[in-house]
Each structure stands twice: as structure tokens, then as C-alpha cells.
A and B are shown apart, each in its own frame.
Chain A
Amino acid sequence: LSPRSHASMEQCSAIANAMVASAFFATAAALAPEPRIKHFQIYHWDPDTTGDKPRICGPIVLDALINIKNEMDPTLTFRHSCICGTCAMNINGGNTLASLNKLDINTSKPIKSYPLPHMYVKDLVPAMNNFYAQYKSIEPFLNKRDESQEGKEQYHQTVEEYIFCACCSTSCPSYWWNGDQYLGPAVLMQAYCWLIESRDEFTEDRPSKDPFSLPLLPGGSEVLEYIEKVSNTMWQQTE
């Protein structure tokens, strides 16, 4: 590990101090011969510090990251776009979206920002390929016999704001250790939604219908049932 300190400390006293060591590649496509671990800590700064350069910074963590990238360390790497779920990362120990996480203005506490656990590529960017492949495997599309008419049925029973952020799956220790076999909570929830979709006309053919086809939690087949129950309960409460 070879940490490098940010030299802009002189310019802005308590301002963000990015400690960058190196990157760890989860995928073997990387040609770097040795694995390198990345840490990233942001210290929040005090806008009232005299002599400090004026900063335009909004109220959320993502604004801070963008500010740091623009003005202090352009090599800082993270995904961000719009309200899409791509900026998921671990902030102060919890997986969340940087664009929705309000900056804690208590300047005595640092904000620790890490990539989603067990999915590193570089800096705060996680490798999502496995996660997407698992989603594809549950066939997340509607199958109808006749696609020519406007449907007459109630809208489908699902979490409508699903955003592929992977925060839940990457909080799950079983997913960390068995991510290649266990689908994880996010994908299982989607599988469930497609199973109960009232407009789907080929439910029997769905891969998730066969309880032995879905890689469930090793040693715990009650997980799917439990997730179903949770979803059901939540749904009933919103009715």
C-alpha cells in the first residue's frame, strides 16, 4: 500500500483530504499484476473558515464528491448521472445513494466514503456485471399471447421505483461470499414481482417458478419465502 496525501491541505485547512492508495480490480481482465486496495476518506469542510476559497456546494454528498473532483483531485473516480441509482456507495458504513445522502454539517466528524462492499473496480466504482447478469437470468419481461390490444387489467404488482442500485444485495454478507451462486435480495425481489405479475401469461414457464432453479441462500431456502412475505405485507399496507 502506498498512500499519497493530498497537498491541497495548505490551501484549505480542514478541507477534504483524499487518501488514495490504489485500486483493487475484482475482475481478472485487469492487467495490473498485483492487487491494490483503495481507501477514500472525505473530511467535510467548514464553509466559514476564513481564507478559504468560496465553494459552490449543494447539500448532498454527491455535490461534495463533484466539488472535490473539479477542484482538488480530478482523478477521483465515481459514477454519477441523474436520478438513476448509479451513484450507490458506502457512506459512513451504510450503502446509500450519494445523490440522496445529505451532508452532515457537523465538521468534527469525517465522512467516510467507500465503494459498495466486495465489488471494487477503481475508487468508488463497483463492478456491476455479475449483478446485471443475475437480473437477466430471471427473465424480467412480460410474456403475453396476444400483444395487439391495450390491456384491460390493473397495473402490475411491483415496486415501481426499483433502480438497480444494488445497495441491498451488497449489504448482505451472503451475497459478498456467495455472489456467484446466490442471487441476492434485489434480484430475488424482482423474480417474485414477475411471478405475481397478473398480466403475465406464461408464468408456469418462468425459471423462477422451479424452486430448484433459483440459486437461493446456501443453507436457507426460506429466504425466498420470507422475501415474498415481506413484499406481500408491504403491498397490503399500501393498498
Chain B
Amino acid sequence: MAALSTASRVLAKKVLSAKALPAVSQSSRKLHFSVYGKNNSKVSDGISTQYPVVDHEFDAVVVGAGGAGLRAAFGLSEAGFNTACVTKLFPTRSHTVAAQGGINAALGNMEGDDWRWHFYDTVKGSDWLGDQDAIHYMTEQAPHAVVELENFGMPFSRTEDGKIYQRAFGGQSLKFGKGGQAHRCCCVADRTGHSLLHTLYGRSLRYDTSYFVEYFALDLLMEDGECKGVIALCMEDGSIHRFRSKNTVIATGGYGRTYFSCTSAHTSTGDGNAMVTRAGLPCQDLEFVQFHPTGIYGAGCLITEGCRGEGGILINSEGERFMERYAPNAKDLASRDVVSRSITIEIREGRGCGPEKDHAYLQLHHLPPQQLATRLPGISETAMIFAGVDVTKEPIPVLPTVHYNMGGIPTNYRGQVITHTPEEGDKVVPGLFACGEAACASVHGANRLGANSLLDLVVFGRACAHTIADICTPGEKLSPLKTNAGEESVANLDKLRFADGNMRTSEIRVNMQKTMQNHAAVFRTGKVLKEGCDKMDAVYQTLDDIKTFDRGIVWNTDLVETLELQNLMLNAVQTINSAEQRQESRGAHSREDFKDRMDELDYAKPLAGQVRKPFEEHWRKHTLSTVDPKTGKVTLKYRPVIDNSLDAEDCAAIPPAIRSY
């Protein structure tokens, strides 16, 4: 070990002494291929002489280049704004690429359809925690969004007569739930996300957006409650960059990696949520974590709901199609939280499959092999690689796995980030926007329907671009920024880079993941959650004792993973504390000690004569959580749900009702 650290100190010294020069100058940038070049950049040492900072000015900055980020970025470029897209991953590596199932839209290609039925399904799917104005906006825009994607070049699967093929998907019905299963999920075989992201990336190359790829966004630059940009670390050469802008859009995705077993990418670390938290702003509804019913047992890889849409069924150890008992109408295509709970109950009651009786089976071999090959080729391959199963002969072993975060940065239906006080209600944070999984508009409420996320990305990515175009003009002068803005972020970076405690990053990370997995899973109880909160707090404190090994500044993934761990922790403490406080069961948040939904009225009984409960005494409200990053202490407040649609005449709002499938 001694030899190791000496060598690494020698190497680090070499890199550091070379770094005494300004990190970047225009001339050295030109010596390698840099499509994502830096225009109008100046070097300043306003922060620290050890970390010279490059300043950029743009009309708009988008953080994240997945489905939502790309759509926002090129939407802004198309509207004439000088736009930067800052992303820690090359765009086609974003987690959108892994989405399989499809994108919902009431095109009516398979049977008569109406976007108001899709609206109803989404409101019901959210267990009446979704904001109906945002849901109205999304479902009405859906057909237009899909046609737009098709015109961008997305190769949707087709029916015999050349129309876009739409498959059945969970929670989708006709005639406000009374007309049977709807087929409105437009798809590209079972690789819709891959196709969508590649199409968006190709399209984005038409515009002159400046991409800053493999730049890790550290923090927002906030001044007087206004967002003035973002500070980021360039992974390639370790330089620090401040992107000053009047408009910042956060599209950084979810935080599945707080859990030990998840379908998410290694890079799903909730960076945007954490940046907002450190800026003192709240996150919303983080306790609502979606467990996808069918992740491959052991590996955690996703098997799309589209399998069940094409006719696949879930069976227990007795060979029974058990969903018929839990959801007599929708059966295997009930909403995801219902299916996840059903599988968990079956396992708990002893009817699990396999030698340990700890998972269920997803059976596809009763479907024609031709259909499997055309419509589900990707999962056929995934099942073979990760479970060793031939789907034409054997069932796939599956288990509910963490998949999506309904919660995130609270926004209005136009994509503007908001805060809330009881006196003034919702208030926009100037200069800050959010879209995609990182945001909480909230279209998904307490539970997201399958194939609504890809829709969410493109609709709200575009909405952010439109809103910015409405309230700003390109080329507007930027307000001044303090010369040392972002200093804290760089100090944190430096501290982590030379951290010399006792616990390595991977150790602390696994402690956090195991705590979350054991204490905040599909079914939650007060006692177990409380224990989890205490354990998470203890794990949070160990961040002070962290040890990193790579002292360099170039492509230092040890440092980046540690920054990501800081971000994950902030998400984890808010998630588990919010869950512990919420004493009801709603959507994906299931309490064994509080099994019912606690609304302002009891919707299981006739409403006449009932007295409306005051805001403090019911739970049909959004959670707003904030954290003191120094101590890890979480503070919770609440915000009312928006119950009216954008236009009552065009689309009547849906009053709450009992949710059954």
C-alpha cells in the first residue's frame, strides 16, 4: 500500500504542478477535436488560484441530455436562444435509452380514442395526487408530441395498414374506465427509449446548441432567490466552468441508485434534486418510489410492461394467474403499484417461485414465437443474457425492483420551478425550470402509469422551451454575478478530492443502499421506517469520514462518484423521512399500519353530509422536503394538490374516487 500511495502522490504532484497554468485557453482547446467547443469563454481566478474558472454566458443552460434535456435544448435553439447543454454523459448514454415499453398518446389507431380518457386514466393512476392542470396539458399534447417524434424520424412499429402500432399498457382504459382495455402505447418494438433518444440526438445536431459533454454540474448559482446559472467540473481536464444564464433548465433524471436493487443506470444519482436542495429549495413527493413489477430476479434488469401488454401473464408457484384475484378487470395490466404489491403478497404468503420461493414468474411461451420476435426482441435477448432463459420455452423469474421516482423538483405545468408558502401559495423561482424525471409537475402523483414517462419527457421538455421563449428574448443582458459565486462548490470539490478519512465511497454507498432497501421497500411500517431514518442519519454522518484515493484532477471518477454519493444521500434522507411521516397508503407508498388513503372526504362512502377535513388532518397533499446539508436534518412541509384542469369546459376535472382495477 505504501508503494501505491507514494506513486499516486508523485503522479498527483505531476498533474497539479502542470495545473498551475490556467486550465483552458482558446488556443489549446483547438488542438483536439472539440465539436462541443467553448465560445465566449474567459478565464478568471475569482474563486481560487488552484482552480482557475472559465466563465461562459448563454441565454439558456440545460443540465442533462436525456429525452427531456435534449428536447428542451434544441427547442430553445430552434427558438433562437444561444443554448448550452451541460451533461455528465454523452447524450445517447442517458438513462432514457434504456426505456422499453412505449409512449402513450390518444391517436386512435387501434380503436376509437379520446385524450380525455387518457387524462382520466392518468389522474386515477396518480391516486389523485397528480396536479390535474399538468395532466390535462400532457395528455392533450400527447398526439401532437408523437407525430412530432415521428417526423423527427423515430421508426415506430407499424400496423398492417401503415399506421403507428399502439399496444395495450397498464392502467389504460377507454370511456373513463368503463370501456375496457385501451391500446394507446405507441412503440418501437421494445426499444422505444433507445429509439427516442437516438432520434432526438440526431435531430439536435441540426441546431447550434453548444454541448458540454462530460461536464459534471456541481451546483446552481443562486443570488437573491434567483437562479443565475450553473457551475460545473469538466471531467476531461478538471477545469471548473461557470455557465451564466438567465434561464436554467434541470433535466437530470431520477435517483434509483439510492437503493441496492434497481433497474436504473449507475449514473442515476439525483444530481439535479441535490443541487436544488443545496440551494435551499424544496423537493416534492420523494417518498413515492415506483417499484416496477418485473425486474429480472437477481440482476435487476428491466423486463418491460409491454410483455404483459402483448399477452404475457404473471404466475405463482402453483401456476396460477394470480392477478385475476387482485385486479379482476385489468388483471396483469393493472397499475404498477397494484401489481408490485400483489407479487410481494404472493411471495409473503408462501406462493413464491424458485428454490427460495422469493420471486414470481412472467410467462411468455404461450404467445406465438413470431410475435415475440417482432414485438419483444430486446427482452428476449435480455432474458437470455441475464437470466439464462429462452422466453419461447420457459418463464422469466421476476421481482419488483426500484424503477422510477415520481417525486422531484416541484414545477407548475409550464415547467417553472416553484416554492410554496401557506400565505402566498405557489411562487415561481425566477430563472429556474425543470422537466423529465427530475421534475414533479406533478403528472404522476403517487404512482406513474407505464409509457407516460417518455411522454412526460418530450411534452415538458418542449414546454420549458416554450415558456422561456414566452418570457424572454434571445440576447438579453445578464444581471451581474458575484465574482466568487460558486466558491463553496469548489471548496467542497477540493475537500473531497483530498479526503483522507476511514471509509471508502463504495462502503458508504452500500450502507445507504442497504438501509433504503431494507427499510423503505414496497410495504412500509412506521417502526421499520423510523429505524431506517435513524440508520440513514448515521450513514449520512459517515460522509465526514470519507476517504478518496484518486488525487488527480483529470477524469477522476473516484471524485465524481463521491460527488454523486453526496447527491444520492440528500435524496435518500428526504425519501425515507417523507415516507415515515406520511401516515396513509397512496399509490406506490404502502403503509401496513395505515392501509387506507386519507383524503379530505371519505370517498368510499356517500359524500352528502360529510365534513371536509382541514388541510392538517388529511394526506391528499404534496410533501415538500428540505435538508440542511451540514447536518442531514430533514424538514417537511405540505402543499395542496391542484384539482382543476386547464379548461373545465374542454376537460372536466376528475373528482377523487376509490381506486380499483
Q: Do A and B come from one complex?
A: yes
- Which A residues contact B (CB, under 8 angstroms)? 2, 4-8, 22-23, 25-33, 58, 66, 69-71, 73-86, 100, 121-123, 125, 127-130, 132-133, 136, 139-142, 144, 147-156, 158, 160-164, 197, 199
| A86 CB contact (under 8 Å) in B33, B90, B194 | B90
What distance in Å separates the Cβ of A91 from its nearest Cβ neighbour in chain B?
16
With A31-B18, A121-B555, A155-B188 given, name 7 new contacts (CB 8 A).
A7-B4, A69-B506, A70-B506, A70-B510, A73-B549, A150-B150, A163-B92
* A80:B151 contact, CB within 8 angstroms: no
Specify which chain A residues have a CB less than 8 angstroms from the CB of B549 in the assembled complex.
73-75
What distance in Å separates the Cβ of A73 from its nearest Cβ neighbour in chain B?
7
A70–B92 CA distance with the chains assembled, in angstroms: 26
What distance in Å separates the Cβ of B596 from its nearest Cβ neighbour in chain A?
37
Given contacts A150-B163, A161-B194, contact A140 B157 (CB under 8 A): no
| B152 CB contact (under 8 Å) in A70, A79, A141 | A141
Q: Mark B69-111, 1 if CB is under 8 A from A, else 0.
A: 0000000000000000000011011110110000000010000
Give me 6 A-to-B residue pairs in the complex whose CB atoms sit less than 8 angstroms apart, sorted by A's number.
A31-B23, A139-B205, A139-B206, A150-B163, A152-B163, A160-B191
| B162 CB contact (under 8 Å) in A5, A121, A127, A153 | A153
Given contacts A28-B32, A83-B97, contact A156 B155 (CB under 8 A): yes
Stretch touching chain A among B6-14, B461-469, B635-643: B6-14
* A77:B555 contact, CB within 8 angstroms: yes
What distance in Å separates the Cβ of A96 from its nearest Cβ neighbour in chain B?
13
Q: Would you list the 9 A-B pairs with minimal beta carbon distance, nearest first?
A: A142-B153, A82-B265, A27-B32, A70-B506, A28-B31, A75-B550, A155-B155, A4-B7, A147-B151
What distance in Å separates the Cβ of B450 from its nearest Cβ neighbour in chain A?
18
Question: Is B504 close to A, CB under 8 A?
Answer: yes
Question: Is B557 close to A, CB under 8 A?
Answer: yes
| B28 CB contact (under 8 Å) in A8, A29, A162 | A29
- Which B residues contact A (CB, under 8 angstroms)? 1-4, 7-8, 10-11, 14-15, 18-19, 21, 23-24, 28-29, 31-36, 89-90, 92-95, 97-98, 107, 146-148, 150-153, 155-158, 162-164, 188-189, 191, 194-195, 198, 202-203, 205-206, 236-237, 264-267, 299, 385, 504-506, 510, 548-550, 552, 554-558, 561
What distance in Å separates the Cβ of A200 from its nearest Cβ neighbour in chain B?
8
Specify which chain B residues have a CB less than 8 angstroms from the CB of A82 in the assembled complex.
93, 95, 97-98, 264-267
| A141 CB contact (under 8 Å) in B29, B206, B552, B556 | B206
A27–B266 CA distance with the chains assembled, in angstroms: 27
* B203:A74 contact, CB within 8 angstroms: no
What distance in Å separates the Cβ of A172 from its nearest Cβ neighbour in chain B?
18
Specify which chain A residues have a CB less than 8 angstroms from the CB of B267 in the assembled complex.
81-82
* B147:A100 contact, CB within 8 angstroms: no
What distance in Å separates the Cβ of A77 from its nearest Cβ neighbour in chain B?
5
* A84:B98 contact, CB within 8 angstroms: yes
Specify which chain A residues have a CB less than 8 angstroms from the CB of B4 in the assembled complex.
4-7
* A81:B555 contact, CB within 8 angstroms: no
A142–B279 CA distance with the chains assembled, in angstroms: 41
* B31:A29 contact, CB within 8 angstroms: yes
* B98:A161 contact, CB within 8 angstroms: no
* B205:A140 contact, CB within 8 angstroms: yes
* B107:A150 contact, CB within 8 angstroms: yes
A100–B95 CA distance with the chains assembled, in angstroms: 17
A78–B153 CA distance with the chains assembled, in angstroms: 32
Specify which chain A residues have a CB less than 8 angstroms from the CB of B10 in the assembled complex.
2
Specify which chain A residues have a CB less than 8 angstroms from the CB of B11 in the assembled complex.
22
* A71:B506 contact, CB within 8 angstroms: yes
| A84 CB contact (under 8 Å) in B206, B265, B556 | B265
A75–B28 CA distance with the chains assembled, in angstroms: 26
Specify which chain B residues have a CB less than 8 angstroms from the CB of A79 in the assembled complex.
93
* B15:A26 contact, CB within 8 angstroms: no
* A151:B35 contact, CB within 8 angstroms: no
* A81:B89 contact, CB within 8 angstroms: yes
* B153:A162 contact, CB within 8 angstroms: no
Specify which chain A residues have a CB less than 8 angstroms from the CB of B504 in the assembled complex.
70, 74
A18–B493 CA distance with the chains assembled, in angstroms: 27
* A30:B554 contact, CB within 8 angstroms: yes
Q: Which of B19, B188, B202, B299 is most buried by chain A, counting CB atoms within 10 A of its CB?
A: B202
Specify which chain A residues have a CB less than 8 angstroms from the CB of B203 in the assembled complex.
141-142
* A77:B557 contact, CB within 8 angstroms: yes
A130–B11 CA distance with the chains assembled, in angstroms: 28
A133–B150 CA distance with the chains assembled, in angstroms: 25
What distance in Å separates the Cβ of B518 from its nearest Cβ neighbour in chain A?
16
* A74:B147 contact, CB within 8 angstroms: no
Given contacts A70-B506, A150-B164, A156-B153, contact A85 B92 (CB under 8 A): yes
Specify which chain B residues have a CB less than 8 angstroms from the CB of A123 in the assembled complex.
555
Nearest A residue to B388, CB-CB: A59
Specify which chain B residues have a CB less than 8 angstroms from the CB of A158 in the assembled complex.
155
* B32:A154 contact, CB within 8 angstroms: no
* B236:A121 contact, CB within 8 angstroms: yes
A148–B152 CA distance with the chains assembled, in angstroms: 11
* A33:B93 contact, CB within 8 angstroms: no
* A154:B152 contact, CB within 8 angstroms: no
| B158 CB contact (under 8 Å) in A30, A140, A155 | A155
Specify which chain A residues have a CB less than 8 angstroms from the CB of B385 in the assembled complex.
100
A144–B148 CA distance with the chains assembled, in angstroms: 12
Specify which chain B residues have a CB less than 8 angstroms from the CB of A28 in the assembled complex.
28, 31-32
A82–B3 CA distance with the chains assembled, in angstroms: 35
Nearest A residue to B265, CB-CB: A82
